[in-house]
Chain A
Amino acid sequence: MQEKLSRRNFLKLVGGAAAAGTAVAIPVAAKGVGQQFVPYVKPPEEALPGDATWYASTCRMCPAGCGIMVRTIDGRAKKIEGNPAYPLNQGKLCARGQAGVQSLYNPDRLKNAVKQNGRGSRSFEPVYWDAALDEVLAKLDSVDPSKIVFYAGTMPDNLYYLVSEWLTAIGAPAPVIYDLHAALEGRAVSLQAAEEMFGAAQMPVYDIANADVVLSFGANFTETWQSPVAYNKAYGDFRGQAGGRGFFIQCEPRLSATAAVADEWVPIRPGVDGLVALALGRIIIEERLGTAGTLGQIYAGMYRGVDVPTIANAAGLEIEQLHRLARILAEADRPVVIPGGYTAGQTNGYGSYQAIQALNLVLSRLGRRGGVYLSQPAPAETLLTMPAPNSFADVQALIERMNAGQVEMLFVYGANPVFELPQAAGFKEALAKVPFVVSFSSFVDETAVQSDLILPNNTYLENWGYQVASPGADRPAVACQQPVVRPLYDTRSTASVILDLAHAMGGAAAEALPWGSEMLFMEDVASILFGSSLNPYTAQTAGEFWAAFRQHGGWWSDRPLQQEPEPVGLGQRPIIVTAPAFDGSARDYPLTLYPYPSVVMSDGRGANLPWLQETPDPMTTVAWNTWVEINPATAHRLHLKNNDVVKIVSPQGEIEATVVEYPGIRPDVIAIPVGWGHEDYGRYAENRGSNPIDLLAPITDPESGALAWGATRVRIERTNRTHALARLESLHGEGRESLS
């Protein structure tokens, strides 16, 4: 990675995406396809019949923004691989990234713009794009701009830029950005805390690869958390370090796949993460453990009033265990402490998050090798603004406005709030009060069913875009997304729809978005990067740079460059971590629900991809359906066994799931993966399993406004039915390794 990219690596990567985007790429007869040859009319320059052409682009299966290479043969995308040159994922790619090609060829994709005959009717009528856009324009004209709302999931950077410029120009409020994936990984809290503690709203990057002790509080970084491929890569390096394989401790109530690879799993009670962190800090300082204990005396003020025995009791740990952990941390050379999504998803999430991050400060890990960095923004911050997710409280405010009739027009992009928000939040009911709803979904998902008009977005393999890695790599990086195939159907990229709308509206909107096409916009973005002295490839002109930008799949610094966080918001002030609060009384609802993002389904957006549906969960080896993980002791007490169907009841609702006896979970906690339970969203997703989010109480952490998704209590009721889960593992095998 240090030297300039060799030409060799990129011989097969082609920058001619313009050709793929514009030329007629008719499928040439590959071997065995029918009895006729269908040769090109006009062959794209780089295409050799039957030979693979590789296009570099950006993965959009989650917000991490990994660089990818797409193998295309005769105009059809066949396989997605990681881009070896891109510093974030370095040629690697996760399961969901691999499955991206199935979102392109999904049989349930919308093939054109449609209008729904009455919301929820699921009866769609194709409309011409011009007519659809005219209708949207007419509506835009007729409503008060302040009553237009753009609701989005974590958007690609390019789209975020265009949408926010457009909304500003027409006088509409800023987009509301919220999706379940971001909520489960605590993205908003990370950014909020970084701003308060380090003075910059940037995602912290934990240098696991070079750490010798990693203490993680529910950060499932080998599964779905933030940038899983980069963190997996780092984990591999962590284990392969020359000095030793490192020590990894995971604190969370459930043995996640990440905890499974940890050297030690500490099953703490839900919601006590911050308290445990406080106790550790207190012990380190009080007992002057290691160098940190000596140097950290200046931070003693943060731990004023921390009572270790009380915390140990609350966390369900022995005091000795806390001491041991503190000693391991303090005596390590390069420890790092990571606050995860589950930490943030509690009513005391924000305080906990700060308490955990403060440990890095006490241990002097900010900006150090094997410590914490901030995502380095690329040059040209003006264009490369990151979408900051909104908190759940903001969404609740939006729901209130919708209920009050203050929203007349709602655009939904890249999010599925009807599925993703707790039912008790009342989004679906509020949505019914919005007169005009436009969805940009490529699929008929639960929210699209509640909309009037669907303007299906292209899939990311047919779209332009760019993405600043956040959390970033060891250097600034901007991934370039380019169409690798001509759009399969009559769908349009949402960015181009926004440009078209702005152009048609004229005035301020047209001025704010002067680009005639997405590609021109992209060229402009590239031209900003062109001037940088850090360029990894040589380009004499902006045009050359633009070609290289596409060919290499983006721009990144040719040398490592990381930003050190400055501890502005921490010091002497005591860190307050309140006791966690839970919805539901402990008597009626004795178990705490832990809904966690499935490594294959993520927050449910992977549910329509058959490869992902059939990929077994790493821990339970279950595929295709929702299960509930119960400690064998608890299961025994409730007279439950594997494959029993149970009803899980919370104060807010109830769902059914199938029991998996799971040795790695606290007896007072049950865990249910998120992702199944779709009502709509295509043949592979529909009516399969259930959605644990439906059980959640819409309670928040008052400090951050984040949804306290880990703070709902439930009880289990038997149904006396069984369901054979699709488990890869044999139940008779009892998880044993080999009998030879």
Chain B
Amino acid sequence: MSRIVSGLRRQPVILLAGLVLVVVLVGGVVSRGTAVAQDQPLDYSHQTHIAAGMDCLFCHSSATRSQIAGVPSVQKCMGCHETITPESESMQTLQGYWERQEPIPWERVNKQPDFVYFSHQPHVNSGLACENCHGDVSSMDQAQKSVEMDMGWCLDCHAQQDEAIAPHLWDCVVCHQ
């Protein structure tokens, strides 16, 4: 064995290939799950709102009824902020959108590709808490991606469900469209 290895050791090509492999593997592991906060058009803090006692579903109100949890309309924001801290800087920006009747172009944080079917409704209605997938948003100022929502991640959770339904949840067309 030692002879072979010693022979190999003199092969810079093999060394280089090994190095590349290591970099790719390490890079792959490290790059997963990194959270990068995105610049949003408005300084909105989830932390502040939740600390003030608000429920996620107050704003993301269609989560129990629809595929999409929903981002509140400008009207909804204004509903409170006409009276609450209307003078702060970010409220002025909000006011601007309202006056121009423009939607707020929020940056997406979590995104599924379009061949994936995901509906909030069954997940939320079956008692799954928002934090399970979105992390502890109450401690985030800006919403951040807390997990890499890839197929294995979905399946890991689906596999842990009740034995009677878990195989159903492994059916490809449940999530693929």
Q: Do chains A and B touch in the complex (CB under 8 A)?
A: yes
Which A residues are within 8 Å of any B CB, using their own CB? 24, 26, 29, 31-32, 35-43, 48-51
User: A48–B101 contact, CB under 8 A?
Assistant: no
Q: Which residues of B contact A37 (CB under 8 A)?
A: 71, 105-108
User: B74–A31 contact, CB under 8 A?
Assistant: no
Closest 8 A-B residue pairs measured CB to CB?
A: A32-B114, A50-B68, A40-B73, A39-B71, A37-B106, A50-B67, A51-B66, A49-B70
Known: A35-B107, A49-B62. A41 touches B114 (CB 8 A): no
Within B97-142, the residues touching A (CB, 8 Å) are: 97-98, 101-108, 111-114, 116, 118
Complex: chain B residue closest to A35, CB-CB:
B108
User: B68–A31 contact, CB under 8 A?
Assistant: yes
User: B105–A36 contact, CB under 8 A?
Assistant: yes
| Chain B nearest Cβ from A30, distance in angstroms | 8
B75 at the interface (CB under 8 A from A): yes
0/1 interface trace, chain B 143-162, chain A, CB 8 Å (1 if under): 00000000000000000000
User: A41–B101 contact, CB under 8 A?
Assistant: yes
Q: Which residues of B contact A43 (CB under 8 A)?
A: 73, 75
| Chain A nearest Cβ from B38, distance in angstroms | 9
Known: A24-B101, A32-B114. A42 touches B73 (CB 8 A): yes
What is the bound-complex CA distance between A39 and B107, given in angstroms?
11
Q: Which residues of A contact B74 (CB under 8 A)?
A: 39-42
* Apart from A35-B107, A41-B73, 19 more pairs, CB < 8 Å: A24-B101, A26-B103, A32-B112, A35-B111, A38-B103, A39-B73, A40-B75, A41-B101, A41-B102, A42-B73, A42-B74, A42-B75, A42-B101, A43-B73, A48-B62, A49-B66, A49-B68, A51-B62, A51-B65
Q: Which residues of B contact A32 (CB under 8 A)?
A: 111-114
| Chain B nearest Cβ from A729, distance in angstroms | 31
User: A50–B103 contact, CB under 8 A?
Assistant: no
Q: Which of A29, A32, A41 has the most CB of B within 10 A?
A: A41
B72 at the interface (CB under 8 A from A): yes
| Chain A nearest Cβ from B35, distance in angstroms | 17
| Chain A nearest Cβ from B76, distance in angstroms | 8
Size bracket, chain B contacts: 20 to 34
Q: Which residues of B contact A49 (CB under 8 A)?
A: 62, 66, 68, 70-71
Which B residues are within 8 Å of any A CB, using their own CB? 62, 65-68, 70-75, 97-98, 101-108, 111-114, 116, 118
User: A38–B105 contact, CB under 8 A?
Assistant: yes
23 sampled A-B residue pairs with Cβ under 8 A: A26-B103, A31-B68, A31-B112, A32-B112, A36-B105, A37-B106, A37-B107, A37-B108, A38-B103, A39-B103, A39-B106, A40-B73, A40-B75, A41-B101, A41-B102, A41-B103, A42-B74, A48-B62, A48-B65, A48-B66, A50-B66, A51-B66, A51-B68
Complex: chain A residue closest to B60, CB-CB:
A49
| Chain B nearest Cβ from A27, distance in angstroms | 10
What is the bound-complex CA distance between A551 and B72, given in angstroms?
27
Complex: chain A residue closest to B98, CB-CB:
A41
What is the bound-complex CA distance between A280 and B66, given in angstroms?
63
Complex: chain A residue closest to B108, CB-CB:
A35
| Chain A nearest Cβ from B40, distance in angstroms | 10
What is the bound-complex CA distance between A40 and B106, given in angstroms?
12
What is the bound-complex CA distance between A615 and B167, given in angstroms?
40
| Chain B nearest Cβ from A28, distance in angstroms | 8
Q: Which residues of B contact A36 (CB under 8 A)?
A: 105-108
What is the bound-complex CA distance between A300 and B65, given in angstroms?
70
Complex: chain B residue closest to A38, CB-CB:
B103
| Chain B nearest Cβ from A155, distance in angstroms | 36
| Chain A nearest Cβ from B175, distance in angstroms | 12
What is the bound-complex CA distance between A635 and B97, given in angstroms?
70
| Chain B nearest Cβ from A14, distance in angstroms | 15
Q: Which residues of A contact B73 (CB under 8 A)?
A: 39-43
